[in-house]
Amino acid sequence: MGKKDKNKKKGKGAEKTAMKTDKKNAAKQKKILEKMGETDIAEVVANLEAEQARLKTVVETVCPPPTPRSSFTIVSHPEKEELIMFGGEFFNGQKICIYNDLFFYNIAKNEWKQVQSPNGPTPRSGHQMVPVASDGGQLWLFGGEHASPSQLQFYHYKDLWVMRLKTKSWEKINAPNGPSPRSGHRMVASKKKLFVFGGFHDNNQSYKYHNDVHIFSLESYTWLKIDVQGAIVPPPRSACCMAACPDGKILIWGGYSKSQVKKDVDRGITHTDMYHLVPDKTSPNEKFKWATVKSGGINPLPRSSVGCAVAATNKAYCFGGVMDTEEDEEDLRGQFGCDLYSLDLASPAWRLLEIGKASKSKTNDEDMKEDDSSAPAQTTTDGVFTITVGGSSSAAPKMPSLFKTPSKTGPSPRMNPGLCVCKGTLYMFGGIFEEDNKQYTYNDFYSLDLHKLGAWKTIIPNNSNPHDWIDSDSDGSSSSENSDDDESSESDSDMDTD
């Protein structure tokens, strides 16, 4: 009895110590922010919301293509041959810019329009947006994060929005019992419901990855109480691939998470597992269970930050991603992919697509024995931020590139590109490539006829050096035209927080 009480007291003491440490770290960060002249992130978001409320009318303007960015969303219009892009972020090595610009791309005209609507979502990245065909078309957007220019502060959203495409007007849905604030989650629409899974929350002092499931009814506009039963549960993760299957199941594959190995050392994990969220059709209530899935065909190499889109043919298409090979405990080198896979959601089975050689697309493990998805892999990126410490002693040693040789005409290797499918054509925009401690963000744009698989069509070419990179030890001064453009973009997206 005495021992039990002792342990109880010890637990309370540890909790108090942790609270004191968090408070001390918060005070330390506050002093740093005051020295930098950076406004508290919560105040910044409140000011951005007030700025959005001052808009009175919808304004549409023909404009140049979107600037380089990552962690944005791009979807196809549910009724028109248009693509719709929202938000994202851009990092130049010293300062990050977060966007809430909304673009419509007319495919036939090859024309971009920027749409500004009153009372819309504030700037964010790592959010999710899905289209549905109801009422002339709707866009549903949930969550994401806002970062201060120094990336010392993060604000995670838990808001749910709908845009009615007939009027291009936003509405914030104030429904209780929704998911906690997060980014890096995934969301799909199926059977008049929105399914939200996973994600993470990071305040620069502590972090948490999620594996919870939330369902929103598109009929009652309420978050539903659900019961997920069974012993099988996917480990927490962000940035996974998620798709609605034709039989009502929800599939998730891969993703990223990290955990603390020791003080100031985190281990990044690239997940390669696959699951189905299976509805209980015999129950009148919202009951589900998780089931593990063994996919057929050629499983992709372990990677994270993969671009993913689902076509009307019930196939998911995955492009790119990054695999980090370990140099030592605190030094990782990324290998970036430019290969395209399809996943038959009814089977499910993987297929490696060789663009321009559709008849020779690889469909069996014998052709690519080196593509062993059971090989362990560690990473330090989830498509929203990059961790510079991690890895495992069991990770693969130094090796030549494991990915296919880049095409001279198609998209170059990258992580976190934006993918969507419209009328049987796959579209890909932007993404990130890292080289020699530098990070380049793209705004190139491609299309691919999924019926012919003949060749990628370049809509906006790739500039291999699309913007200047400011090293962390630089004074930040730059007289280049690109730097001026960055400042303009920041102002347009209400990112001036100083």
Listed in sequence order, the residues at least 6 apart from 35 whose beta carbon sits closer than 8 Å to its beta carbon are none
Asked if 348 contacts 296 with a C-beta cutoff of 8 angstroms, the reply is yes
Asked if 344 contacts 361 with a C-beta cutoff of 8 angstroms, the reply is no
CA distance 188 to 329: 37
CA distance 426 to 51: 36
Asked if 86 contacts 141 with a C-beta cutoff of 8 angstroms, the reply is yes
Asked if 151 contacts 145 with a C-beta cutoff of 8 angstroms, the reply is no
pLDDT for residue 8: 39
Average pLDDT, the chain: 82
Q: Is the pLDDT of residue 384 over 60?
A: no
Q: Which of 294-298, 376-380, 384-388 has the highest mean pLDDT?
A: 294-298
Q: Is the pLDDT of residue 124 over 90?
A: yes
pLDDT for residue 362: 52
Q: Is the pLDDT of residue 316 over 50?
A: yes
Identical topology for domains 45-225+471-498 and 238-467: yes
3-state SS string over 335-398? EECCCEEEEECCCCEEEEECCCCHHHCECCHHHHCCCCCCCCCECCECCCCECCCCCCCCCCCC
CATH class (in words) of the domain with range 45-225+471-498: mainly beta
Q: Is the pLDDT of residue 154 over 70?
A: yes
- Stretch 76-98: mean pLDDT: 96
Name which of 132, 226, 122, 254 is nearest 188 in CA terms.
Answer: 132
pLDDT for residue 485: 41
CA angle 484, 487, 492 (to 5 degrees): 125
How far does Cα 90 stand from its chain's mean position? Answer: 14
Q: Kindly list the domain boundaries of the chain, sorted by start residue.
A: 45-225+471-498, 238-467
pLDDT for residue 30: 63
CA angle 256, 258, 263 (to 5 degrees): 165
* Per-residue pLDDT tens digits for 88-121: 999 999 999 999 999 999 999 999 999 999 999 9
Q: Which residue has the higher pLDDT, 304 or 130?
A: 130
- Stretch 330-352: mean pLDDT: 89
Q: Is the pLDDT of residue 272 over 70?
A: yes
Least confident among 215-219, 322-326, 359-363: 359-363
* Per-residue pLDDT tens digits for 2-34: 444 444 344 445 444 444 445 555 566 666 666
Q: Which residue has the higher pLDDT, 282 or 365?
A: 282
3-state SS string over 173-187? ECCCCCCCCCECCEE
Q: Which of 26-40, 401-415, 482-496 has the highest mean pLDDT?
A: 401-415
DSSP 51-73: HHHT--S-EEEEEPPPPS-BS-E
pLDDT band at residue 332 under the 50/70/90 scheme: low
DSSP 257-270: EEEEEETTEEEEEE
DSSP 107-171: TTTTEEEEEE-TT-PPS-BS-EEEEE-GGG-EEEEE--EEE-TTSS-EEE---EEEEETTTTEEE
CATH class (in words) of the domain with range 238-467: mainly beta
pLDDT for residue 89: 97
How far is CA 357 from each of CA 315, 352, 419, rounded to the nearest angstrom? Answer: 19, 11, 21
- Stretch 304-325: mean pLDDT: 93
pLDDT band at residue 341 under the 50/70/90 scheme: very high
pLDDT for residue 18: 45
pLDDT for residue 273: 97
Cβ neighbours of 11 (radius 10 Å): 10
* Per-residue pLDDT tens digits for 353-372: 999 764 344 544 333 333 33
pLDDT for residue 25: 58
Percent of the chain whose predicted confidence (pLDDT) is above 70: 76
Least confident among 170-184, 369-383, 467-481: 369-383
How far does Cα 312 stand from its chain's mean position? Answer: 22
Name which of 417, 418, 427 is nearest 450 in CA terms.
Answer: 427
Asked if 354 contacts 360 with a C-beta cutoff of 8 angstroms, the reply is yes
pLDDT for residue 50: 93
E strands in 423-494: 425-435, 438-449, 457-460
pLDDT for residue 262: 81
Q: Is 431 left (phi over 0), alpha (psi -120 to 50) or beta?
A: left
pLDDT band at residue 37 under the 50/70/90 scheme: confident
Percent of the chain whose predicted confidence (pLDDT) is above 90: 64
pLDDT for residue 167: 96
Listed in sequence order, the residues at least 6 apart from 282 whose beta carbon sits closer than 8 Å to its beta carbon are none
In this structure, what token pair is assigned to residue 205?
A: 């002092």
250-253 vs 222-224, strand pairing mode:
unpaired
Asked if 184 contacts 199 with a C-beta cutoff of 8 angstroms, the reply is yes
Burial 259-291 (b: 16+ CB within 10 A, else e): eeeeeeebbbbbbbbbbbbbbeeeeeeeebbbe
pLDDT for residue 204: 83
- Stretch 400-428: mean pLDDT: 86
Q: Is the pLDDT of residue 385 over 50?
A: no
